[in-house]
Amino acid sequence: MSHRLLPSGSAIFLPLRRVVVGASLALVAATALAQHDPAGFPLDSVGYLNEELPRMEAAIAAKDRSFFLGAMTRMVQFSERWGFKAKANPDLAAYPMCTAAVMDYAVVGMCRLNPADDGCEPGLAPRFEANVKRCRELAAQK
């Protein structure tokens, strides 16, 4: 004889599920709002690049092209979190060096693996390095 005190679809689980989902959505919304404070963008960008660049260097050394699929996915996620993927966040206009550095890092890495690729312009890597440097300097001031 099976004793089920509360069936899975019971009236108790439905409100509990709503509370948990509601709390989760509230947490996500609060996190999203907190991360959209433009003053924190340079520091967050530098943290992102500090994590990604050593991984990119290791992938280049290992000639691991598969790394860049995940790198592009992470870059898109970062840009969506800050709302600059489609230049939708005008509050970040003061930080073009940071947005450019984040957007270009994977392309620069892929170009280091295959410099003859059509998308690899000679000025990309030096411009990227300059943007990373300027973004780091700006983040250090905040």
d(CA 132, CA 128) in angstroms, rounded, equals: 6
Q: How many helices (H) and strands (E) does the chain have?
A: 5, 0
Task: List the Cα angle 96/118/133 in 5-degree steps.
Answer: 30
Q: Where are the domains of the chain?
A: 38-141
What per-residue confidence (pLDDT) applies to 52? 97
A 10 A CB-CB count for 41 gives 25
What's the Cα-to-Cα distance from 134 to each of 33, 101, 128, 129, 130, rounded to whole Å?
A: 26, 9, 10, 9, 6
Tokens 């992938």 belong to which residue?
Answer: 59
104-126 pLDDT per residue, tens: 999 999 999 999 888 899 899 99
What per-residue confidence (pLDDT) applies to 91? 86
What per-residue confidence (pLDDT) applies to 32? 43
Tens of pLDDT, residue by residue, the chain (142 residues): 444 443 444 444 334 344 333 433 333 333 444 447 899 999 999 999 999 999 999 999 999 999 999 999 999 999 989 987 656 678 898 999 999 999 999 999 999 999 988 889 989 999 999 999 999 999 999 7
What per-residue confidence (pLDDT) applies to 119? 81
d(CA 126, CA 113) in angstroms, rounded, equals: 16
39 closest CA partner among 97, 102, 94: 94
Tokens read off for 141: 């001031």
With H, G, I as helix, E, B as strand and everything else as coil, classify residue 121. Answer: coil
What per-residue confidence (pLDDT) applies to 88? 67
